[in-house]
């Protein structure tokens, strides 16, 4: 788990590039945060997932987000 300050595509991509093997296959929702992942892993399957199906399609996902009161950063642990 890792604290990140935003969900921008460049931020997410740099974390994946550093922490995920290039020969990995990723399954994500279709968020614009993930648009560059296809450039850093072998396969990226971005899916439009209806809210009621998230738990069955991505059962391991439990994101936690909060706003840091001092810095005003949105902090997410994915």
> Per-residue pLDDT for the chain (78 aa), expressed as one digit of tens each?
677 778 899 999 999 999 999 999 988 888 899 999 999 999 999 988 887 887 787 776 655 566 666 666 665 555
The whole-number pLDDT of residue 72 equals 62
| Predicted pLDDT of residue 61 | 65
Question: What's residue 22's pLDDT?
Answer: 94
CA 9, 5, 60, 24 torsion-angle sign: positive
Q: Which residues contact 43 (CB under 8 A, 6 or more apart)?
A: 24, 25, 26
What are the boundaries of each domain within the chain?
3-77
Q: What is the pLDDT at residue 7?
A: 86
pTM: 0.66
């Amino acid at each position: 788990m890792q604290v990140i300050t935003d969900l921008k595509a460049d931020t997410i991509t740099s974390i994946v590039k550093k922490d995920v093997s290039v020969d990995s296959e990723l399954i994500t929702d279709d968020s614009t945060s993930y648009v560059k992942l296809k450039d850093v892993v072998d396969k990226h399957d971005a899916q439009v997932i209806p809210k009621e199906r998230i738990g069955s399609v991505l059962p391991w996902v439990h994101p936690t987000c909060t706003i840091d009161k001092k810095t005003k950063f949105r902090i997410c642990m994915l």
